[in-house]
Amino acid sequence: MTLPYDPDDDQAADRYINAALRSRDAEAWRLLATETHVEQTDRVLRAMLDRIAVARTHRTAERAAARVRAREGDISQAEYERDAAEDANRATKAAHFETLVREHHRLIAAAARRLRGDDVRDELTDLVVALGSAVDAHRTAVLASGAEPTPADEALWERLATLDAPDAVDGRVTVAELVRRRAAKQDDLGRVLAAIVLDAAGEAASVPRAALLTPWKKAIAPTLAAAEKTEFAAKGKGSLATEKLRKTMGHLERKGLVKRAGTADDQRLDLLDRPGLEELAGRR
């Protein structure tokens, strides 16, 4: 048995997937995850999630406009409440459908990533960037010390400048550019976390990690694109915000500003360099 449409007919795929979502037909989803169609299924489900997000934004704007009309007397309070109740009912159904789409997309996206080799590529890119960051840190330390670079040092630094790696945006870029981008992004998030750590700690020398999570999620939520969250969720690694917190704490540790302590269930962050945290947070 095969799917009744071609891998480039997304309109037909959209109709078929909508029916499969409602019927929860296991055989249909097995076919949708086959190598010939899984990337198309992934693409169509992502488009569904995008439409859901757009509809939610539109609905929120409509409710805000309705509140203004009710306040100004353009519609009666009874009309407003009736429309609000109908909208709440539609929103509940939309939320249920979105949950259904996301549940299936996690499985499909994981299969699509395996087929494309995305996980292997990402792991290798992370490894290359980590090595590049170490070379860059070595160069900074040597030059800052005033020591004369050895020929081996200069050859290593030259290799960093010419080596390239795959990049989702530009196709391929130099490892040095990837290191620069990663460092800039980490510094941006580091500034956010430094401020949160200082506020949560007050005058204390240590702060529970649990006290950082809520303000962290609130602070970075506007920076997380829906596509990025969907992509991360498809990897089955939990919350993107929590993962960024973990990596950013590591970034502050490497700067010598904080140190993680305690167990995984009761982790704390010790403040090692309060002036450095204040400088990073822009408070001095």
Kindly state the tokens that stand for 122: 């990402």
| Spatial distance between the Cα atoms of 110 and 202, rounded to a whole number of angstroms | 42
- pLDDT at res. 169: 63
Cβ proximity of 283 and 264 under 8 Å: no
Q: Where do we find the tokens 């130099």?
A: 174
What is the tens place of the pLDDT at every residue in 160-172?
878 777 766 666 7
Share of the chain above pLDDT 70, in %: 93
**Mean of per-residue pLDDT scores for the chain:** 85
3-state secondary structure of 194: helix
Is 248:121 a contact under the CB 8 Å cutoff? no
Which residues touch 60 (CB under 8 Å, ≥6 apart)? none
Average pLDDT over residues 11-32: 92
Helix (H, G, I), strand (E, B) or coil at 117: coil
With bands split at pLDDT 50, 70 and 90, how would you rate the model's confidence at 192? very high
Distance CA(131)–CA(128), nearest Å, equals: 5
The model's pLDDT over 60-116, given as tens digits with 9 standing for 90+, comes to: 888 888 888 888 888 888 888 888 888 888 888 888 898 899 889 888 988 888 887
Q: What is the pLDDT of residue 32?
A: 94
Greater model confidence, 41 or 237: 41
Q: What's the full length of the chain, in residues?
A: 284
Q: Higher model confidence: residue 27 or residue 1?
A: 27
Q: Is 117 left (phi over 0), alpha (psi -120 to 50) or beta?
A: left
Residue bearing the bigger pLDDT, 278 or 165? 278
Q: Helices in 146-273 by DSSP H: which ranges? A: 151-162, 175-201, 210-220, 226-234, 240-254
Residue with tokens 């929103």: 91
For position 84, what pLDDT does the model report?
A: 86
Report yes or no: 193 and 248 within 8 Å, Cβ to Cβ. Answer: yes
Residues 6+ apart with CB under 8 A from 282: 191, 195
45-49, 163-167, 200-204 — which is least confidently predicted? 163-167
Task: Read off the pLDDT of residues 109-156 as tens digits, 9 standing for 90 and up.
Answer: 888 888 877 777 777 777 887 888 888 888 888 888 888 889 998 888
Q: What are residue 262's phi and psi, to 5 degrees?
A: 90, -175
Q: Is the pLDDT confidence value at 36 over 90?
A: yes
pLDDT tens digits along 207-228: 999 999 999 998 888 877 666 6
* For residue 265, pLDDT beyond 80: no
Phi, psi of 135 (to 5 degrees): -65, -45
